Structure 1
Amino acid sequence: MSAPGKLRSVALLALAEVMTMSLWLLSAAILPDLVAEAGLGPGRAAALSSAVQIGFVVGALALAVHGTADRFDPRRVLAGSALVAAAANAALLVTPVGGAAQIGLRALTGACLAGVYPVGMKIVVGWGTRDRGLLVGILVGSLTVGTALPHLLAFFSGPDWRATALLASGLAAAGGMLGLGAGLGPFHARAASLDPGALRLAWTNRRLRLAYAGYLGHMWELYAFWAWIGAAAAAGFAAGLGAAAPDAARLVSFAAIALGGLLCIPAGWVADRIGKARVAQGAMLTSGAAGLATAASFGGVWQLTAVLILLWGAAVIPDSAQFSALVADAAPPERAGSLMTFQTALGFTLTFFTVQAVPWVAAGLGWPATLALMALGPAFGVEAMRRLLRMGRESVDATLDRL
């Protein structure tokens, strides 16, 4: 990244993502306070977290079918979505705690965030092809840090969840305005018309299909981890820390999620040199192993569990950027935005079920078994990347045979 316009635009986008995505895991960060105030049961608590995923899926599917990010100025789409999301989140302060209105507002917030995350990727992939792994890594790293931010806001705000929600709304609104200042790169392509049939490429193009499959394996564990690791850590730390366990869990959760976001950037740099599928495969192998180790350590020495959670958080997200970059590489440039948005829509459809299921599985089987089950997703994703890498080797062999 050498051109000043490119540096400035990517920096603005990164900052906008950090600030706007602070809305995403707000429910998870303030959930203990909501439960204490309103006596919420596990079903209502899960609904507050999973409503964001449902809203995101609906919003992402609508944007993908409509081709919004490919047909209109994506900066305006991002800014408008961020402002509406910020307003919906602020409305939590004036609605009954844990009620249907709050669940609906969280769903609306998720729908609007579909106009921030994948639309931001559409903008950033327009700034390069050879360094696309790094570019998307920066963006995904930024949104990951933003996703972790509510845990830090909640730590400083204490039990006043309303202050946390208000701070997150203010950050999101400011972030949306920053996104307007980003430029569109030389590889940005605009679609001339609506073409919902372009989404069929997700199945008919084998490279896209395998990139989607790997992403689904990754998403099996990612949001279940992000949404519930705070609650799991608090339960795991309780024996060793007593009343201090919730605060320690918040700090560890923030650090684990943020660490993964920071590692997206060097992972992207490496991916541009050794291959995006190879980096994604390595990240999933590490995260799956860390998940199993965390489950095995649960309820023992809390410091060991904390270290393993940090390792898990570090490995759970860097592959996400590479799945998006793989889709951008394989897709027609003028349809990349729609196909990346459709990819996220499918992934977040899956996360609705995993996020919703976690508290019920934990109540029935315990946290160790629940954490171990999350490793099934990385195992599936590793196999998808193995097949994609084999396609690359077969392509090279065919070229050598022709020579």
Structure 2
Amino acid sequence: MKPPKHILLTIVIAQFFCTSLWFAGNGVLASLVEDLNINQSLGNITAAVQFGFIIGTLLFAMLTITDRFSPSKVFLWCALLGALCNFVLVWQTVGWTILASRFATGFFLAGIYPVGMKIASDYFDKGLGKSLGYLVGALVVGTALPHFLKWLTALFPWQYVIYTTSALASIGGFLMVMMVPDGPFRKSTQHLDLTACFSIFKKKDFRAAAFGYFGHMWELYTFWAFVPVLLSIYMEWHGIALFRISFWSFWIIAIGGLACVLGGYISQRYGVKYTAATALTLSGICCLLSPLALLFASPAIFLLFLLFWGMVVIADSPLFSTLVAQSAPPDVKGTALTIVNCIGFAITIVSLQVISALQDLIAPHLLFLILALGPLFGLLGLFRNRMKL
């Protein structure tokens, strides 16, 4: 029996509204720091959200929150609490309280992003890759949002962005709980199992899917973070001022949302595993070709190269999440998705720090070769155990 048509649309809209807490905040941080004259680096404030998310997902996974309680209700409460933590930004006057606010926002996002995928998996058994493609696609557009907001904050006070995103998150939470009840494929666990998030790694298929996702995450967020850097390096080396960096950064990241949707449809014909592996291979090849693109490509070819990279770098994300959900025991599916998110986002911090530390040590055009280690590791993990999925 197919779920009602409004289910997937509601999940996608609610997820996009609620994750705006994460990405829209980044877009106003520069204005916030300047306006309040706060002695905090933007990197620290941004990292606070990431660390909050990692701690939140670890705690949610260990306590098996989304498998013991209604995922829609967990989503609602985390959306409301995340909106409140985001909203208090407008009252902050000292640096440490802003860090605390962003950390808390990231913590409650742990009950939004992976829980949204859990809710989708409870409704869509067949065609889950396509459904998660829409879901992650909406998240990708949200990721590109800060580049748009850099323009928006020149027209309106930054506080208006905070008001809007907090309101949207609250609306998203209520949409989810009112229109998306617990799905037909949901199987709950009644007891607390602090080891469930670790014992699931004993399953070979789950471990292969998770390792593929981890390799993908090594590349993904670092590429997104360094898109403006890639554009700046190219313009400096070729002596041109052709690119509007915020404009093209938005499109290079946002086009990945379309790729997620297309990847979901392609996976229905060629299989989830091999579609994911193809995207991961292509993004690894882009890492290896990046020196040549920076040195020799014409402006048009360079932009097309980055747009293609922006597509393949994320197209496999919903597919790996699909493999994780399908290979996990049904009663701990939410916990499985949450712990994989936790480890994956922790890997992004390591990758970002490694690339940042090497910026002054190696030639800029060679820097992004290091990102190819992620796809290589992911492919080895994915095929080592010969998954059945």
Q: TM-score, normalised by structure 2?
A: 0.89
Alignment map for 1:3-402 (pairs within 5 Å): 3=3, 5=4, 7-26=5-24, 28-30=26-28, 33=31, 44-96=41-93, 99-158=95-154, 161-180=158-177, 181-237=179-235, 242=241, 248-298=244-294, 301-365=298-362, 367-388=364-385, 390-392=386-388
From the superposition, tell whether residues 96 and 39 of structure 1 become closer, same or farther in structure 2 (CA, over 3 Å).
closer
Deviations 1:272-315 (A, max 9, x none): 33222111111111112223334433377544433222111111
Instruction: Answer whether contact 2:28 2:153 (CA < 8 A) is retained.
Output: no
Deviations 1:40-89 (A, max 9, x none): 99x93322222222111100011111111111111111122122222222
From the superposition, tell whether residues 233 and 24 of structure 1 become closer, same or farther in structure 2 (CA, over 3 Å).
farther
Once the 2 structures are TM-superposed, how far is the Cα of residue 316 of structure 1 from its aligned partner? 1.2
Give the Cα separation in 1 of the matches to 2:305 and 2:34: 28
From the superposition, tell whether residues 29 and 305 of structure 1 become closer, same or farther in structure 2 (CA, over 3 Å).
farther
Give the Cα separation in 1 of the matches to 2:356 and 2:31: 17
Instruction: Answer whether contact 2:205 2:388 (CA < 8 A) is retained.
Output: no
Once the 2 structures are TM-superposed, how far is the Cα of residue 174 of structure 1 from its aligned partner? 2.4
Structure 1 runs (4+) deviating above 6 angstroms are 34-41
Q: Which one is further off, 28-37 or 101-110?
A: 28-37
Residue 177 of structure 1 aligns to a residue whose secondary structure is helix
Tell me the C-alpha RMSD between the 2 structures.
Answer: 2.8
- Give structure 1 stretches of 5+ with no counterpart: 394-403
Match for 1:57: what amino acid? Answer: I
Q: TM-score, normalised by structure 1?
A: 0.86
Give the Cα separation in 1 of the matches to 2:168 and 2:146: 11
Instruction: Answer whether contact 2:68 2:190 (CA < 8 A) is retained.
Output: yes
Q: Give aligned-pair identity as a percent.
A: 34
Deviations 1:350-392 (A, max 9, x none): 112223444333344354333222221111112222224x344
Give the Cα separation in 2 of the matches to 1:109 and 1:278: 36
Residue 185 of structure 1 aligns to a residue whose secondary structure is coil
- Give structure 2 stretches of 5+ with no counterpart: none
Give the Cα separation in 1 of the matches to 2:353 and 2:110: 20
Instruction: Answer whether contact 1:71 1:192 (CA < 8 A) is retained.
Output: yes
Once the 2 structures are TM-superposed, how far is the Cα of residue 153 of structure 1 from its aligned partner? 2.6
Match for 1:171: what amino acid? Answer: L
Deviations 1:223-255 (A, max 9, x none): 11223323443454456554x85xx22222221
From the superposition, tell whether residues 47 and 200 of structure 1 become closer, same or farther in structure 2 (CA, over 3 Å).
same
